[in-house]
Structure 1
Amino acid sequence: MFYSLPHDIGVYLYDVFVGRFDAWVAFGIVAQTLFAGRFLVQWIESERAGRSVIPVSFWFLSILGGGMTMIYGLVRHDAIIILGQVLSNLIYVRNLVLIAKNRRSGRGGPAGDG
């Protein structure tokens, strides 16, 4: 049977966003929303400071959204998501450790740690 391209795209989008929708997809959408929200936080803080900054809340949103995305990948058995989020979350945690270390030593943090 011949389908027009717009019809095929519509069928695909329906399948992805409606036909396969379940509680885990909702969880994944919340995870991605939190993860993307970190850039909104970073943008707002940079606008307030008049320069590019990365506030600590950026790293917490990264960990929360990335951790939830990793859980989603584990449930969905998606190796790409799992591998990407494991490495990323290690980096996010390390950034928080470095910020805390700099603050304890009285040096503050690197410029832009908010």
Structure 2
Amino acid sequence: MAVAIAPPSGALLNAILSYADISEDIGGGMTLLRVSAKRMDDAVIAQSLGREAARLADVSILWNDDESEIHAVLDAAIPSGVEDFWTEPQFELTDLAMAYLDEMLDTEERAKAG
């Protein structure tokens, strides 16, 4: 069962742009904007975002200083109860695939031996 995470709302992104108190120049004309834990407790921010205020801890904005626009939205939310959320997909080669790879290696070795 896949757990769906709603993307950050426009209100959340606006809050980060308005209230970000962590600004890290990462080079290339890009700045990472975040809201600190202390700032997240601000009543104005909490009230305006409601339940979504908790998402401030997960979301940051990569700001393009040259173009004065959002370059990317970074969302580190991991759904609760899904331990392998970031695990890369895995697969296992079949016997036929292994035989094919062995044959290709043999062909390469014969070509090098010449």
TM norm. shorter chain > 0.5: no
What TM-score do the two structures reach when normalised by structure 1?
Answer: 0.27
Which of 1 and 2 has higher RCO (CA within 8 Å, sep 6+)?
Answer: 1
Q: Which has the higher strand share?
A: 2
User: Larger radius of gyration, structure 1 or 2?
Assistant: 2
